[in-house]
Amino acid sequence: MTESRGDRSARSDGGSVTEEGPVREGFLRRLSVPLDRRFGSDFFESSPFWLPPFLLMALFVYGAIIWNLMISLTDYTGFAGSPDYSNLDFEMYTQAFSDPGFREAAINTLILLVAFTAATLIVGLLLAILIDRGIRFENTFRVIYLLPMSLSFVVTAQFWLWMYNFNNGIANRLVGSIGLGPYDYIGNQALVLWAVIFALMWQFSGYAMVVYLAGLRAIPTEHYEAAQVDGASTVRMYWRVIIPQLKGATISAAVVLMVFALKAFDFLYSLVSGYRPPNGADILATKMVREAYANLNWSYGAAIAIILFALALAVIGPYLYYEYQRGYL
């Protein structure tokens, strides 16, 4: 679909672009003709459509990130109105790397990133395969699996707090029925991060399922049939033939999940109704907000935010390049 568009713009890049379009008055015309010649026939006329939203977005996203970078180089703390931009240094970053709390949060962030993404993708893929087996009531199953995704983290945190409750929670009833526990999931430093990962996996695996399902539906039926004619078992067929074709779905779902894991702030905040997550579950996203808004270490918070941004960039940079190469941009 994009080809014809590409052809056309390539053609009009060539030169004769002035023969169409409404007549504009002197100044605008003098401005628009060279612009259109350079950028394509509709450039000037289309700018009222995309330029205002773009500027608003760019100001709030990219302008704010640059501003944040500036603030992270100052020593801005406390209730003072504005940072002092006259004296910039990297002190906040050296402070971060020597802060054991920061290191712990960074490690937890990476664990969350990898374990949550992997678990969610695997569960989502299994669900998608189950749903794709030509079942009845497919819509009902899909609606139920995706349901948690429509809920706020503030809401799901309440549910899981109750699930993980030491005395009355279902989690302890379940492990109790096989003779284990009870465990203090939220209070135990070694367990809490995994409990959070499990809860987030519950909330997001429906999303991974929907992405994979779209990928599975795009695979031609002949591939299934060919594998079965060859006598491959069902498991082998999926492993060898089907799953390798889901690379695109895996990449786009993984990027969304990883970026989400970097900002799983709302859930952790709601677990404790406060800026300090349970011991052992502090991540960079929560530490950043806590340093800035609870401890009023604004510039230190800003520095952590920049490090978090760099992590996100490490995930989305390659993704954008991949999309660009496939011609999706």
Partner 1 sequence: MKDQPDDTKDQPDDASNRDTIGSGGFVSRLRSLDRGRVGLYLALLAMVGFYLTPIETGLVTSLKTNQAVIETAPYAPPGPSGFTLEKWQTAIDQLLRGMGNSMLYAVPATAISAFFGSLAAYGLTVADWSKRYKAPLLALFVAGIFIPYQAVLVPLSQFWGQYVQLGQNLGFVWALGIDNDYAGIIELVTTHVAYGIPICTILFRSYYKTLSTEMIESARLDGASLRRVYRRIVLPLSTPMFAVVLIYQFTQIWNDLLFTLVLVATESSPAAPVVLILAGLGTGMEGTDFPLRMAGAFFTALPTLAVYIAFGEEFAEGVTT
301 binds partner 1 (CB under 8 A): yes
Give the C-alpha separation, 274 to 193, whole Å.
17
41 binds partner 1 (CB under 8 A): yes
Provide, rounded to whole angstroms, the least separation between the CB of residue 178 and partner 1: 16
97 binds partner 1 (CB under 8 A): no
- The token duo for 120 is 């969610």
73 binds partner 1 (CB under 8 A): no
- The token duo for 112 is 């969350």
Which of 15, 22, 26, 179 touches partner 1 by CB under 8 A?
A: 22
Q: Is the dihedral of CA 65, 67, 72, 76 positive or negative?
A: negative
| Site size for partner 1 (CB under 8 A) | 128
Nearest to 304 by CA among 117, 82, 109: 109
Residue 80 CA to its chain's centroid (Å) = 34
Q: How many CA atoms lie within 13 A of 129 on its CB side?
A: 14
Mark the segment that binds partner 1 (CB under 8 A) among 94-102, 114-122, 141-149, 175-183. 141-149
Give the C-alpha separation, 324 to 329, whole Å.
5
Provide, rounded to whole angstroms, the least separation between the CB of residue 104 and partner 1: 17
Which of 86, 98, 177, 221 touches partner 1 by CB under 8 A?
A: 221
105 binds partner 1 (CB under 8 A): no
Do residues 171 and 163 make contact, with C-beta atoms less than 8 angstroms apart?
A: yes
130 binds partner 1 (CB under 8 A): yes
Provide, rounded to whole angstroms, the least separation between the CB of residue 4 and partner 1: 6
Mark the segment that binds partner 1 (CB under 8 A) among 87-95, 100-108, 176-184, 287-295. 287-295
Mark the segment that binds partner 1 (CB under 8 A) among 62-70, 87-95, 97-105, 176-184. 62-70
Query: Hey, which residues between 154 and 213 contact partner 1 (CB under 8 A)?
Result: 154-156, 158-163, 165, 167-170, 173, 202, 206-207, 210-211
Cα–Cα separations (whole angstroms), residue 81 to 70, 291, 298, 306: 16, 17, 11, 21
In the block, residue with structure tokens 């990928």: 215
Provide, rounded to whole angstroms, the least separation between the CB of residue 250 and partner 1: 14
Provide, rounded to whole angstroms, the least separation between the CB of residue 214 and partner 1: 6
276 binds partner 1 (CB under 8 A): no
51 binds partner 1 (CB under 8 A): yes
> What are the counts of helices (DSSP H) followed by strands (DSSP E) for the chain?
17, 0
265 binds partner 1 (CB under 8 A): yes
- Name which of 193 and 237 has its Cβ closer to partner 1: 237
3-state secondary structure 214-236: HHHHCCCHHHHHHHHHCCCCHHH
Give the C-alpha separation, 246 to 240, whole Å.
11
Do residues 247 and 158 make contact, with C-beta atoms less than 8 angstroms apart?
A: no
Which of 67, 90, 97, 239 touches partner 1 by CB under 8 A?
A: 67
305 binds partner 1 (CB under 8 A): yes
Give the C-alpha separation, 276 to 272, whole Å.
7
293 binds partner 1 (CB under 8 A): yes
Which of 14, 15, 27, 61 touches partner 1 by CB under 8 A?
A: 61
Provide, rounded to whole angstroms, the least separation between the CB of residue 87 and partner 1: 18
Which of 32, 33, 68, 245 touches partner 1 by CB under 8 A?
A: 68
How close are the terminal C-alpha atoms of the chain, in Å? 13
- Name which of 7 and 89 has its Cβ closer to partner 1: 7
63-80 b/e with 16+ CB inside 10 Å = b?
eeeeebeebbbbebbeee
